[in-house]
Structure 1
Amino acid sequence: MTIAGGSLCAIEFPAMVGVIDHPQRGLFLFDTGYDPAFLEATRPFPERLYRWTTPVSIGDRERWQVWLHSHGIDEAAIAGTIISHFHGDHVAGVQHLAHLPVHCARAGLAKLRAPGRFARVRNGLLAALVPPEVDAHARFFEDAPVLTLPTAFGPFSEGRDILGDCSLLAIELPGHCAGHWGLAFETHEGRPVLLAADAVWSGRSIAENRPPPRLTTALLGDTRRYRATLGMLGAAASANKDLTILPSHCAISAKAFCGKDVAG
């Protein structure tokens, strides 16, 4: 379901979190991954359909304080979250940080709050995971100043300056679902990085230009726009050898970037 011509065998599919250490503002989490709250949110019907179609394993190590400690994260240093999109595997932990600024797409939050439980579940959305407090603290990508991206991210040309200091630039990556965005920045060492969220599910898809089957992309979003975005990611990877593109579910890409095994 994640790559054309893929195996029918089950694979591990981690939901990873980006931890960004801003030199002045503190820590920002790019998405929040899974949390035991996901199990509670998918207990009733029709939300249980989400858990049936994408079975998950959530144990004690995913509990908020345990997860923070195991990754050496000081909760008091977290300045806010950056939400790529509102699918359950990307926002299950946002409840813990709902009192902080939440940078996200207006279109994505609107879709999450739209009526119709069956429709939301079909689109991978679990409204119970995102408390109403988030709406009050939301800072929308669409409202941030438009900036020209550095050439290291070409052919992507435009980003949104979400902090107002040119450090973190949100890039719309359409096709996967409504309100789906990535994040471009340079590390302390000057390495360009694009957090691609679910615009692509593996580095292999980029390297081989192999999108998911049409059934998958049509179910969740827009196949034509998804494939156009994948094409741009491939062009960016080819044109910019120093650019690192990190999908949210590709442990191989994350390990290559971090130089070690990573956990969701």
Structure 2
Amino acid sequence: MRGDLPDGSTQRGGLLADTLVELADTLGDEGEPDVPLRRLAGRAVRLTGAAAAGVLLADESGDLRVVGASCEPARLLTAVGPGPDCHRRGTAVAVIEMGGGALPADFTRRALASGYAAVFAVPVRHREEVVGALVLFRAVPGELPAHSAAVARSLADAAAVGVLQRRARRHHQRLAAQLQTALDSRIPVEQVKGVLAERWHVSVDDAFALLRAHARAHHLRIADLAAGILAGTASLPPPGGDTA
């Protein structure tokens, strides 16, 4: 039972649950969509026992940036080395001993100088789509404990769900806005087609052909010409008139 767990375990369990909800929540403040990701690094340190952590996120163009780190050394190191490699490969990267030659000498030197003896990177991914990496730095060499590794994977998976769902929602919002713009542009065109057809005693299709020809001849958008005609700020010569 939960009540039988030590207080520390209970608190960590509650923090983990809260963090997973925050990361996967897609209804938060759209003005600050990266807030849960910025918090993730500090939460990861508390939940996994790592000495430091950083979070990499790829934008929709694929460009990587550090969106959160528990300290400045971790921020600088997250931007290079295992983090980008993890994102590129889409699989976890583990370096259990920083001085073992598995990493570039400059990265190793800077990491050791910051007090880090091992580094682990977990892909922020959902199914086949990888959007970043969660990077953990340990002060002692050795494998990441199984429990800590499981927590890190859960955090990374929840972050991926939140990021991708927010992006999907923004995509749908952009499509809806584009469709609304197209509809708003189409309404005056349809109205003018009817007006011209009645005025000139031609078919609606012929009226539209005349409207389109005039717009092209004068390098105008059809919707703008139609709106101008309705507002009385533009005119269209009748069939047979001068369209130049």
Tell me which of the two structures has the higher relative contact order, counting C-alpha pairs closer than 8 angstroms and 6 or more residues apart: 1
Q: TM-score, normalised by structure 2?
A: 0.23
Report the structure, 1 or 2, having the larger helix content. Answer: 2
Q: TM-score, normalised by structure 1?
A: 0.22
Pair member with larger Rg = 2
